[in-house]
């Protein structure tokens, strides 16, 4: 068989089987197994890139949501882990760029050069077509799971992922202590993982 001839490990071949089950048979356990196998590794890889546990958890969840949404496009030219890590890395790089752009945007707004409008503000504007595309993709992929969350957590996740508010802004919006918001968002992510793994009956 061509796939075996390429020297894939037994783990990689098992991944291919799980992907076939997930895509062709819509087997929720197959998704759960793939997540269980790689969740820690993806999380620690992202954490090395950004050094922030809250953001690393967010980005890990996004990487799996994006991978599962595009699983039908996966070709067995290389291992699933290679493909997943590439998705996670690209998503994290986008996040870092966006964060830097926002910081630069704030700085240049404060030091406005002789009253002219600052170009970087335009680049960081919500109407940027590329940003809009990324945002709509993110909303679409997270929405798969979010609708099944209890109302209390759904609101938090919507503010974080759809409205893209910071933890501080969410705390202000909901009039809750920052620690509570962080703890509840952490729980929301755990529930999202459970839903993605087909365990929503326990919620």
Give yes or no: residues 71 and 16 share one domain: yes
In the chain the first and final C-alpha atoms are separated, in Å, by: 43
Number of domains forming the structure of the chain: 2
Listed in sequence order, the residues at least 6 apart from 105 whose beta carbon sits closer than 8 Å to its beta carbon are: 118, 120, 121, 123, 124
pLDDT tens digit sequence for 89-123: 998 988 888 777 554 444 433 333 344 433 333 33
Question: Which pLDDT value is given to residue 159?
Answer: 84
Do residues 80 and 15 touch, judged by C-beta distance below 8 A? yes
User: Is 60 found in the same domain as 10?
Assistant: yes
**pLDDT at residue 84 in the model:** 93
161 shares a domain with 92: no
Check residue 75 and give left, alpha or beta (phi > 0: left; psi -120 to 50: alpha): beta
Residue 185: which pLDDT band, with cuts at 50, 70 and 90? confident
Per-residue pLDDT at 106: 40
Report pTM. Answer: 0.57
CA distance linking residue 140 with residue 174, whole number of Å: 24
pLDDT number for residue 124? 36
DSSP 8-state code for residue 127: T
- Enclosing domain of residue 184: 129-203
Instruction: Please say which residue of 61, 93, 125 terminates a domain.
Output: 125
The mean pLDDT of the chain is 75
pLDDT over threshold 70, residue 71: yes
Angle between helices 28-50 and 53-69 in degrees, nearest 10 = 140
Directed axis angle between helix 80-110 and helix 10-24, to 10°? Answer: 80
Same domain for 113 and 133, yes or no, is no
More confident residue, 85 or 127: 85
Instruction: Give residue 95's pLDDT.
Output: 86
More confident residue, 17 or 199: 17
pLDDT tens digits, residue range 136-165? 555 555 566 677 788 888 888 888 877 778
Whether residues 88 and 185 fall in one domain: no
The CATH number assigned to the domain holding 106 equals: 1.10.1740.10
CB neighbours (10 Å) of residue 143? 14
Model confidence at 131: pLDDT above 80: no
16 pLDDT above the threshold of 90: yes
d(CA 96, CA 72): 28
């Amino acid at each position: 068989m061509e796939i075996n001839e390429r020297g894939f490990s037994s783990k990689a071949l098992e991944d291919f089987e799980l992907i076939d089950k997930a895509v062709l048979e819509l087997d929720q356990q197959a998704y759960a197994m793939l997540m269980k196998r790689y969740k820690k590794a993806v999380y620690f890889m992202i954490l090395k890139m950004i050094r922030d546990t809250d953001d690393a958890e967010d980005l890990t969840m996004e990487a799996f949501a994006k991978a599962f949404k595009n699983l039908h496009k996966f070709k067995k030219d290389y291992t699933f882990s290679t493909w997943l890590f590439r998705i996670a890395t690209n998503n994290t790089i986008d996040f870092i760029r966006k964060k830097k752009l926002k910081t630069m945007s704030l700085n240049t707004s404060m030091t406005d050069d002789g009253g002219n409008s600052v170009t970087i503000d335009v680049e960081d504007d919500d109407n940027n077509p590329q940003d809009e595309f990324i945002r709509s993709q993110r909303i679409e992929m997270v929405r798969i799971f979010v609708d099944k969350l209890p109302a209390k957590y759904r609101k938090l996740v919507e503010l974080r992922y759809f409205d893209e508010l910071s933890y501080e802004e969410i705390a202000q919006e909901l009039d809750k202590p920052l620690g509570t918001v962080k703890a509840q968002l952490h729980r929301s992510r755990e529930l999202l993982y459970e839903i993605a793994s087909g365990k929503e009956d326990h919620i």
